[in-house]
Structure 1
């Protein structure tokens, strides 16, 4: 899922992504995203139902950081 800047903030709140959406961005399994959250590699929010959600800005920052690290080592 790719959100436009208009979708990123709705009613002053940041867009939250599901583990599946984050996994799609990183091209990994959703369980990998959950392990990253458990290990503290990426922050998550728990919904009242106990599901994890991830802040889009944090996810995109991590993705950019990892992409830059790969670019520098190539």
Structure 2
């Protein structure tokens, strides 16, 4: 197990993504992701320093849901 894997998956917990990483997945600006979190469209966690982080499984589930919705049009 590498050092980075130990940091991102301690005790098999979900990996946390930054707003920039989420924005890349959705192809939007990171500020859009922050607005979604503020509006409650996507759940976020605050770090002790006040930064937002997003659970990878939740982000990927939302992305899959939105992709399926668009595909059915």
Q: What range describes the TM-score normalised by the shorter chain of this pair?
A: 0.7 to 0.9
Aligned pairs for 1:1-74 within 5 A: 10-11=9-10, 12-73=12-73
Instruction: Return 5+ residue gaps in structure 1 as ranges.
Output: 1-6
Equivalent residue pairs, number: 66
Structure of greater Rg:
2
Q: TM-score, normalised by structure 2?
A: 0.86
Identify, as 1 or 2, the structure richer in strand.
1
Give the match for residue 3 of structure 1: none
Secondary structure of 2:72's counterpart equals helix
The alpha carbon displacement at 1:48 in A equals 0.1
- TM-score calculated relative to the size of structure 1: 0.85
Gaps of 5+ in 2: none
- SS in structure 2 of the partner of residue 53 of structure 1: strand
Residues of 2 paired with 1:63 and 1:22: CA distance? 10
Structure 1 residue ranges, 4+ long, deviating more than 3 angstroms after superposition: none
